[in-house]
Amino acid sequence: PRHHRADSSASNRASKRASRRLIVFIVGGMTRGELREAHALSKTLHREVLIGSTSLENPASFVEKLASLSTTVGRQYERVDLSGL
């Protein structure tokens, strides 16, 4: 029936839109620069780019996380017993 074809055509269009969608999720926080890059990528690829993250970082919070990571990684290496090497 004609009604069925209309539904099928609408379904095909929705499927094509969904296949043009690029989803990016960043664990640990993203910066505004990464948001800008996602927007630029969307324009370049002619695709919808959806970006998400656990948090949005500003320069100060980004540096704090880097400092914390350095301290955490340093502590992990202090605990490793290398005397058997």
Pairing assessment for the beta strands 48-53 and 21-26 based on DSSP bridges: parallel
For residue range 21-66, what is the model confidence (pLDDT) as tens digits?
999 999 988 999 999 999 999 999 999 999 999 999 998 998 888 8
Residue 74 has pLDDT above 60, yes or no: no
d(CA 52, CA 38): 10
Is the pTM higher than 0.75? The answer reads: no
d(CA 45, CA 52): 19
